[in-house]
Amino acid sequence: MRWIILLMANNIEMQLRMRHEINDIIGDRVADNHHKNDCHYVNAFIAETLRYKGVFPLGVPHVALCDYQLDKHLIKEKSMVVGNLFSVSRDPSLWSKPDVFSPNRFLDKDNKYMSALPGFTPFGIGRRICLGEKLALADLFYITVRLLKSTPDYVFALPSGEGTADLEPDPNIFVINVPKPYEIILKRL
Residue 39 annotated in ligand binding: no
Q: What angle do CA 54, 56, 57 make, to 5 degrees?
A: 75
Cα distances from 150 to residues 54, 66, 141, 179, in angstroms, run 26, 52, 14, 24
Signed CA dihedral, 179, 180, 181, 185: sign only: negative
Chain centroid, CA 54 distance in Å: 6
Q: What is the SS3 assignment for 70?
A: strand
Using CA atoms, how far apart are residues 86 and 187, in angstroms rounded to an integer? 33
Binding-site positions for heme read 130
Residue positions forming the annotated binding site:
130
